Amino acid sequence: MKFFRYFFTLIFLLSFKLFSQENKISKRIYTTKKLVKKPVIDGFINDEAWNVVEWSSDFTQKDPDEGKPPTYQTKFKVMYDAKYLYVAIRAFDDEPEKIERRLSRRDGFQGDRVNVIIDSYHDKRTAFVFTTTAAGVKGEEFASQNGENWDDSWNPIWYTNAKIDDKGWTAEMKIPFSQLRFGKAEEQIWGFNINRTIFRLQERSLWQRIPNDQAGFISEAGELHGLKNLISQKQLEIQPFTVLQYDKYPPEAGNPFRTGKDFRANFGLDAKIGITNDLTLDLTVNPDFGQVEADPGAIALDGFQIFFREQRPFFVENSNIFDYQFANGSDNVFYSRRIGRNPHRSANLANGEFSDEPQNSRILGAAKFSGKTRDGWSIGILESVTGNEYAEIRQTDGSSREEIVEPLTNYFVTRVQKDFNERNSFVGGIFTATNRHLNGDFNELHKAAYTGGLDFQHNWKNREYYIDGNMIFSHVLGSKEAITATQQTLRHNFQRTDATHVSVDTDRTSLTGTGGRFEFGKVGGEKWRYSTGVIWRSPELELNDVGFLRRTDQILQFLNVDYLWLVPTDTYRNMAINAEQLSEYDFQGNVNRLRYELAGNINWIKNERTRLGIGANFSRFDNFFLRGGPRWRSANSRYIFTSFNSDNGKKFAFSFGYTNVHSDEDVFSRNRFRIGFSYQPFDALNISLNNELEITKDRSQYVTTTSFGNDSRYILGTINNDELSTTLRFTYSLNPNLSIQFYGQPFISRGRFSDFKFVNIAAADKFTDRVNIYSQNQITNQNNIYNIDEDLDGNLDYTFENPDFSFVQLQTNLVMRWEYIPGSELFLVWSRGSVGSADVDDDLIDSVSDQVFRAPANDTFLLKFTYRFRR
């Protein structure tokens, strides 16, 4: 407790240091006027309608030579009427034949482009960003965290076009006020900026200059004045959809549910309703997530859950509102993939029975209420219900029955933040609730789970310094069986044999835990930047009913220091050196890791990028490694990493990376290689290929736990694990609204085990003292079962299965997308996938080739049609 008392005292004192709030750069102001005639949005800017307002110019470089005039200037005009904001842009270029007019899908952000950045809330932290490329491709982003987070999932309806001429290129935008959020002032004052990118030069310039040593981006924008007597344009959009799906797959003999082909039709509805001009209600009924890209292949040898990003449109859009990363890594109070997850149970089948089991819990409906008010309140509420899920079971005599595999579940999330102190500070909170209707069954599941959190941030000295923090509390309720199982999951491991601060209590019906982060740092300035703080996850913290949490019982202390070279020279655009220190403890007071890292990166003058780093881990212990066994000492290790990226403004760009990890006593080694390229042979086609190869040797890979008399045997082995993945993408765009995209990824992970051993003294200094290797007389292999006669008395003591594996997976998608009118789309999708096991002795390439060209696969054909009605 002394640590936290001193920490908060330090924060309090630092908050009131004599730092001024002076801006380094004066704010630019553009005053718009109401139009007289409406311009035609065709990309040409010679309409008489634009003559009511003046041009503004004098852009300043942001990259590579901040503060200097750009190679070619840009100018713009802004005007408005009762329903729309209009923007005209002239991007000068003395070599128009070199303008990159690359076609791509919406939000492709390829080629020469302009970004119009509108902080209509004028909260100096969030902004709506509208992008037009020289090819006329549109893109939109919602920027939050003062420009730290850019969310391209936002897809408003608006209109744009672009043309190239002998002076460069021009663009026009028509942005409905219904797609923006603003207050009720008689005259609106909005944050405003325009960013232009000359792609071949990798040069960015801004209308409102923002020095590179300035903390923040949205907060430093200029201002748009002159918007008078705007009437709230409440948004009303209704989007029904129809999906036709045909599946073809290898039939399974005798299984009435696996005949080799299926056909189904699905219908649903999405709606967006403007409750006020600040707040929007999103609704979905029977949502469809059929055309999303498959998750990448991965194997978790450490037993912990793998994080996969959300890809379903309803949950992706405006997801930043509900984001609450309370610690480091991917841990989050809300992880939307829990909603609609695969059922917790599988059907119990007797001999001769077959089942048709749901792959996901059906979402009956979901609603989001979100927005930000003029006086600084950010609000997000999400409510979703998934129904009872049943597996249909058929017997050989043709009779059938149903068995429930997932109960009716309600998910609720609410997020609130309030800005104050001239938008330099905020406080906020989050609350989540998961409630299941168990019907006297499902004793293995939590009946209810609740999480609450508080967060804050304070910035001062022109946002150069900050204090940031959050704290969360979790409370889960369930039967004795459910809470006992939770205590024994890998992320908790209360059954650890040498733990004195936790133990399994089979009578408990609830768990209550905490977690959080407190951090102080400097994010602006010309040379030095730093951050330091503490992160913790208490042993009883539990989030995985609707959050993401990998492990508990952890306290982290960290320090990061950066030294920057921001002024370009003849050799580089910018450079940075970063030093990191990390200490890890558990709640028993043990030191579990000390890590140190030094890294540097250089952005060369021709826009190639190089990164190089070294690091080391000392005093490494792992409370979870032996899955309930004693605390395990891992060997100290050292690592290096490097990468190189060529100029991605070129038609052909490539990258490669290499990482090497090596431990004391040669216990662990890993080499990871990455190489990729992208190629734009002509404006309509982009091809990219990325390859990753990882070669690991670990003499201490956990295999299983078994019993030997009254003792437990924690069995390890030496694993040679090779992983290879190749990801191919190509996009062919016929025009900005019609494209064909292919994604394909074969993945293989092969693990071959040898030199089996059991744990002797888990915390011994030397590896040879930590384990005992089985002699040839102690271990024999019969039919992939290892038989152990540990005491050599001629009797079998225990057995375990051969853990060798060779997992091979293929995923492909071919998608044609046509936005036939703004906001309404037609998708044609072909998806092909397969999962199998290869011979562990086969070559990696041969195993992948067999899976791609010879293994039976599942094919899915989808047609999805949406139409957006809007007022």
pLDDT in tens, 616-656: 999 999 999 999 999 999 999 999 999 999 998 899 999 99
- Read off φ and ψ for residue 664, nearest 5 degrees: -60, 150
Domains by residue range for the chain, with CATH: 2-228 (2.60.40.1190)
Q: In terms of residues, how long is the chain? A: 871
Strands 74-80 and 33-34: parallel
Closest to 187 (Cα-Cα) out of 39, 75, 80:
80
Give the DSSP letter of residue 769.
Answer: H
pTM, full prediction: 0.88
* Nearest of 830, 819, 822 to residue 865 by alpha carbon: 819
Q: What amino acid is encoded at 855 in this protein?
A: A
- Tell me phi and psi for residue 833, to 5 degrees: -150, 155
Question: Residue 139 and residue 115: Cα distance in Å, rounded?
Answer: 9
| Spatial distance between the Cα atoms of 576 and 600, rounded to a whole number of angstroms | 6
Query: Which tokens hold the place of 402?
Result: 């149903």
- The Cα 355–Cα 394 span in angstroms is 6
Q: Which helix (H) or strand (E) holds 316?
A: helix 313-316
The tokens describing 550, both together, are 């990998």
pLDDT at 299: 66
352 vs 260, 359, 393, 397, CA distance in Å? 19, 22, 10, 9
The residue ranges of the chain whose pLDDT is under 70 are 1-24, 288-302
Q: What whole-number distance in Å separates Cα of residue 146 and Cα of residue 524?
A: 13
Structure tokens given for 772: 């005992």
User: If you write DSSP's letter for every residue of 126-190 in order, what string do you get?
Assistant: -EEEEEEETT--EEEEEEEGGGTEEETT-----EEEEEEETTEEEEEEEEEGGGS-----SEEEE
Written as one letter, the residue type at 809 is Q
Could you tell me if 187 and 175 are in contact, meaning their C-beta atoms sit under 8 angstroms apart?
Answer: no
**What are the φ/ψ torsions at residue 296 (nearest 5 degrees)?**
-70, 155
Q: From CA 641, how far away is CA 636, in angstroms rounded? A: 17
How many Å apart are CA 398 and CA 712, to the nearest integer?
A: 47
649 touches 200 (CB < 8 A) = yes
Residues 6+ apart with CB under 8 A from 46: none
Q: For residues 550 and 306, give the distance between their C-alpha atoms in angstroms, rounded to a whole number.
A: 8
Report yes or no: 616 and 593 within 8 Å, Cβ to Cβ.
no
User: Which two structure tokens, joined as six digits, stand for 665?
Assistant: 């006593």
Which residues pair with residue 11 across a beta bridge?
A: none
Answer positive or negative: Cα dihedral of 621, 624, 625, 628.
positive
Question: Alpha helix (H) ranges present in 538-661?
Answer: none
Burial of 335 (0-12, 13-18, 19+ CB in 10 A): buried
Can you tell me whether residue 353 is helix, strand or coil? coil
The three-state secondary structure class of 4 is helix
841 in Cβ contact with 830 (< 8 Å): no
Phi-psi region of 794 (alpha: psi -120 to 50; beta: other; left: phi over 0): left
Peptide bond into 313 cis (omega under 30): no
Four-residue CA torsion sign, 372, 373, 379, 385: negative
